[in-house]
Structure 1
Amino acid sequence: MSKLGIMQGRLVPPEPGRFQSFPRARWADEFANAAAVPIDYIEWIVDHYGDDVNPLRAEKGIEHLQRLMDSTGVAIRAICADYFMDFPFVRCTAQERAERLAQLQQILKNGRKVGVLRVVIPFVDISAIKTDDDFRDVVNAMRSALPYAEETGLELHLETSLGPADFKRLLDELPHPLLKANYDSGNSSSLGYNPADEFGAYGDRVGSVHIKDRVKGGSTVPLGTGDADFPTLFRELERVRYAGDFTLQVARGEPDNEVEWTKSNVAFVRKYLNTIGSGEAA
């Protein structure tokens, strides 16, 4: 059954000068705030910025997370591995790639300890797949990572800026049940992609959805005010019988009003969820 979650950091004010990052100062506060919305889960961020204080990186921190999840009923169902924006699998040496694969293996192992189901690996912006060499490097890296996914039982979800045909070609090179696509409604609208074309190409491989809105060629804006085609997106989700999760990765509201802002965004998404047959997000 689909669950509705939120990207980490969206339930507390942003870190100074950063739109999305691990919230070093107030990460623990997000559990109570998520319960107050309510929302099912947090998509946990692992990045270089917060690495030295991220509780998911150490056993004592993992124990703390387990206590917070138990006390609030808010899960961690996904990891957004923005670490691989800072240290991508493309345009690097073989030694660097091996070190990054070792980091991914550790992220998967630690994620399993807190009940994570998937790790989203971004290939956008500075980590985007731009050349044939990049494409081949990603295929080879993910083939090397799949034994780690099998070991832990976690899925690998690729978020890319590739067009529909090229993303399909990438997924066709990696026909493994634990490797899926992450669909980001905002990134697609910014790039001018049509949801019907995207789902027509690889809809059967979509394993998770990031919900946000962006202007074509521009930045993130409040839901319903940009170029994301939500009616078509949710019709396509119904057509492919999508039953995965939805993570809010929305534009920020006013600082310290995160709970109320999230409630309004949840209402926007539920309006569409109620029209599809993938199950109610509770």
Structure 2
Amino acid sequence: MSFTNKIGVIVDSFGVGVTEGLKKAKEVGADGVQIYAVSGEMDPAALSPAKRKELRSYIEGLGLEISALCGDLAGHGFQDETANPEKIEKSKRILDLAVELGTNVVTTHIGIVPDDTSSRIYDSMQRACEELGVYAKSMNAYFAIETGPERSAHLKSFLDSLSTNGVSVNFDPANMVMVTGDDPVEGVKLLKDYVVHTHVKDGKQLRPVDPRDVYGFLGYGAMSHEKIAEMAASGAAFEEVPLGEGTVDFPAYFAALQEIGYKGYLTIEREVGANPEEDIRKAVAFIKSYKGK
């Protein structure tokens, strides 16, 4: 299997801040980086035009590019219509920042898409995603929903209901096997028209789990990355593990991405583990071993 996709790393996975994380990404052999841009030093509100320019030239000076920004606002995604105006506004500012930094992808969680398409929550999510999709499309960019909270066939039907592909997919195979038990290979084929960014992560499900316990749901509980990482580390229902140690069939996953003509980044995410740098270094080597086949 010979493919030319570039390898990305989520800077925040190193846990050492943006500047040091960028250096480490270069050291482990990545071509690009994904960066959280929600709060702290990467909050769009905290980055003046001069700082944005400085950051972009620093990244380019390292010989890296940005594969995507992460604009995940946690909570209930876009399920709560009263919170949506503020979240939509913030998402747009993150997309503006992404484009200024040289990428056209912002990944996010929108909340679990309800089964009941006539429900108020479904309507709130649909209207929010329609507005964000139109905005992204006007800039030739994408808000990319991370896979995992619902099965891919249901996510596809939701995306098909929008007027543009400005809201697309950040494909994460581990989330699928850990939470819904969905098949990533079939998922890639189903969502082929929407995949604009991917994560390379591995995991296994230890017992069936209610997606609401992981990703939250309006009236049920909220989502936070800390909570997901804690669950993935505890191994109570599922476990995130180093690449090749879980149930993601990587030869078939990479082959499916090639089959649909995916040319974007393969971005490594490591949310748990005592030595993320070592795990990420091994993950880069793991992907490269397939690139040469």
TM-score w.r.t. the length of structure 1 is 0.81
1:178-220 Cα deviation digits (max 9, x unpaired): 3321110110111211123313422232221111111114021
Shift of 1:28: 0.9
| Structure-2 separation of matches of 1:265 and 1:156 | 26
Matched, 1:240 2:260: yes
Amino acid at match of 2:285: A
Amino acid at match of 2:183: N
In the alignment, what sits opposite 1:71? 61
| Seq. identity, % | 23
Mark the CA change 1:207 to 1:66 in structure 2 (over 3 Å): closer, same or farther. Answer: closer
Equivalent of 1:265, from 263, 283, 287?
283
Shift of 1:115: 0.5
| Structure-1 separation of matches of 2:43 and 2:142 | 21
Q: How many matched pairs? A: 252
Amino acid at match of 1:183: F
Shift of 1:144: 0.8
Amino acid at match of 1:197: E
SS of residue in 2 equivalent to 1:203? coil
| Structure-1 separation of matches of 2:102 and 2:71 | 16
Mark the CA change 1:241 to 1:274 in structure 2 (over 3 Å): closer, same or farther. Answer: farther
Matched, 1:231 2:222: no
Equivalent of 1:5, from 8, 21, 34?
8
In the alignment, what sits opposite 2:233? none
Contact kept? 1:120, 1:182, Cα under 8 Å: yes
In the alignment, what sits opposite 2:221? none
Amino acid at match of 2:200: I
Question: Where does 1:1-282 land on structure 2 (aligned, <5 Å)?
Answer: 2-13=5-16, 26-47=17-38, 51-54=39-42, 56-57=44-45, 58-59=47-48, 60-83=50-73, 85-86=74-75, 88-93=77-82, 96-123=83-110, 127-132=111-116, 133=119, 134-160=121-147, 161-174=149-162, 176-190=164-178, 191-216=180-205, 217-250=237-270, 252-255=272-275, 258=277, 260-275=278-293
Shift of 1:65: 0.9
Shift of 1:41: 1.3
Shift of 1:39: 0.8
Mark the CA change 1:162 to 1:5 in structure 2 (over 3 Å): closer, same or farther. Answer: same
Mark the CA change 1:197 to 1:65 in structure 2 (over 3 Å): closer, same or farther. Answer: same
Contact kept? 1:188, 1:228, Cα under 8 Å: no
Shift of 1:153: 2.4
Shift of 1:270: 1.9
Shift of 1:86: 3.4
- Aligned-residue Cα RMSD (Å) equals 2.2
| Structure-2 separation of matches of 1:146 and 1:101 | 11
Deviates more, 1:113-122 or 1:69-78: 69-78
Shift of 1:101: 0.9
TM-score w.r.t. the length of structure 2 is 0.78
| Structure-1 separation of matches of 2:40 and 2:68 | 20
| Structure-2 separation of matches of 1:232 and 1:151 | 35
Amino acid at match of 2:267: T
| Structure-1 separation of matches of 2:98 and 2:258 | 29
Unmatched runs of 5 consecutive residues or more in structure 2: 206-236
Shift of 1:38: 1.9
Contact kept? 1:213, 1:250, Cα under 8 Å: no
Mark the CA change 1:65 to 1:120 in structure 2 (over 3 Å): closer, same or farther. Answer: same
Mark the CA change 1:55 to 1:137 in structure 2 (over 3 Å): closer, same or farther. Answer: closer
